[in-house]
Amino acid sequence: MSPSSTALSSIGTLIAGLLLWVSGAFSLVPDWGGHSAPVKVAILLAAFVLQWIAPKRPVVAVVAMLLLIAVDLPSGVSLPLWISFTDVIFAAATVGSPMLRRVVGSGCFALTMGGAIVVAVVVDPRAGVLVGLLGVAFLISPLGYAQSVLATVRAARAEKLAAEAEHATALAQERRRVSRELHDTVAGHVSAIAILAEAARDVPDPAPIIASMRSNSLAALTELRAMIEVLAGDGDDTATVRWASLTPLIAAARSVGSEVTVTGGSAGLTVLAETVMTRIAGESLTNATRHAPGSPIGVDLVTVGDTAELTVRNRLSDDERRSNDLRMTEGNGLRNMRIRAESVGGTVTAGPDGEHWTVQARLPMGRS
């Protein structure tokens, strides 16, 4: 309960008590004696104070209210006191500890049922029913209302936590997507530039290699600009590349002595399938150029029914054939290829195949 609502509720109870006093209905059973004017004032002030402190000191308010009711009961049951008690019960059931909520709930049910049974036996059943109804009104109802408020608060909290978790998941996915894009756009071309720079030192005429280095630099810059535009925009579009984007990487491989053969093409592929296949082929070309420079590389992209199939194959270098790991350690490149393929319902396999290293990707054509 907020301080303002607590103040309004306390003042409302005080006004209701004054009206009950003026109307002669201050005591529920006036035949028991009632109270003098000073006692009525004291009861109203005590109820006001306890109701005011209940949200901050629920235990003190409940105990003090029970003592006041016990002292007041023989004199005729002061209605303002019980009206204030309902607010104290509500405060205890909403802001109190779980133990206090259990104690207050059990006590209210016991007091309602016990009072109704005792009055029914001692006085008459009709009076017992009346006491039971009063107990429901003054004791059980605030408990039910408190449970509804707590359920609403828990639901709002759960919804907030779910929204935060969803936001964190979306943010993590976006970070991974940007990481993959940066790896595929920057790492591939920069790796090619590094390989070309190394090769340029050992050839008499480095002009063709330098031209290839420039081509890869421009391609990297172009793709970086495309990513920056996507990240700076309001939408959530994924940067896309086309099959022709492989040209700088093919040129880099040829500049270090690799014969690159490209068969098939992207005709008939959706934009998304073409983008994924281009990324996988580009990563495969970069790896082949890095690990087996000078070895022939074959790139084949075909469609078989509703499936697009990509195969990138290169002859293993002598060092790789003697090595035990043969690029089997899964780095960012192979992991990114698999993630990209799986994101559109496809698969990627990579590994040695006799004297060759083969990357195969299969994507369904029905995804857009």
Dist CA 296 CA 302 (whole Å): 20
Does residue 361 surpass a pLDDT of 90? yes
DSSP per-residue string spanning 62-76: HHHHHHHHHHHGGGT
Compute the CA torsion angle 210, 194, 288, 297 (nearest 10 deg): 0
Same domain, 155 and 215: no
Q: pLDDT for 15-56, tens place per residue?
A: 877 887 878 778 777 777 777 888 888 888 888 888 888 888
In a domain, 321, yes or no: yes
Same domain, 207 and 122: no
* pLDDT for residue 363: 94
Our measurement of the distance from residue 289's CA atom to the centroid of its chain's CA atoms, rounded to an integer in Å, reads: 42
Domain that holds residue 104: 3-161
Same domain, 143 and 216: no
Does residue 132 surpass a pLDDT of 70? yes
How many domains in the chain? Answer: 2
Residue 212 binned pLDDT confidence (cut-offs 50, 70, 90):
confident
* pLDDT for residue 260: 93
Same domain, 136 and 183: no
Which CATH number fits the domain that encloses residue 329? Answer: 3.30.565.10
Which of the listed residues 133, 161, 189 is the one where a domain comes to its end?
161
Q: pLDDT for 274-290, tens place per residue?
A: 988 998 998 899 888 88
* pLDDT for residue 140: 87
User: 3-class SS at 233?
Assistant: coil
Backbone angles phi, psi at 290, to 5 degrees: -75, -50
Q: pLDDT for 230-285, tens place per residue?
A: 666 554 444 557 898 898 889 888 888 899 999 998 888 888 889 889 989 988 99
Residue 366 binned pLDDT confidence (cut-offs 50, 70, 90):
low
At residue 124, what is the residue type?
D
* pLDDT for residue 264: 92
Same domain, 83 and 190: no
Contact 332, 279 (CB under 8 A): no
At residue 196, what is the residue type?
L
Same domain, 129 and 233: no
In a domain, 302, yes or no: yes
Same domain, 213 and 97: no
Same domain, 256 and 345: yes
Q: pLDDT for 79-131, tens place per residue?
A: 888 888 888 898 888 888 889 888 988 888 888 898 889 888 888 888 888 88
Does residue 329 surpass a pLDDT of 70? no
Q: pLDDT for 160-204, tens place per residue?
A: 888 888 877 777 776 777 777 676 666 777 777 887 887 787 777
Higher pLDDT, 183 or 62: 62
Does residue 314 surpass a pLDDT of 80? yes
Percent of the chain predicted with pLDDT > 70: 88
Which of the listed residues 129, 161, 193 is the one where a domain comes to its end?
161
Contact 337, 361 (CB under 8 A): yes
Contact 331, 291 (CB under 8 A): no
Does residue 296 surpass a pLDDT of 80? yes
Same domain, 154 and 129: yes
Does residue 343 surpass a pLDDT of 70? yes
Same domain, 183 and 256: yes
User: Mean pLDDT over residues 297-317, rounded?
Assistant: 92
Contact 243, 278 (CB under 8 A): yes
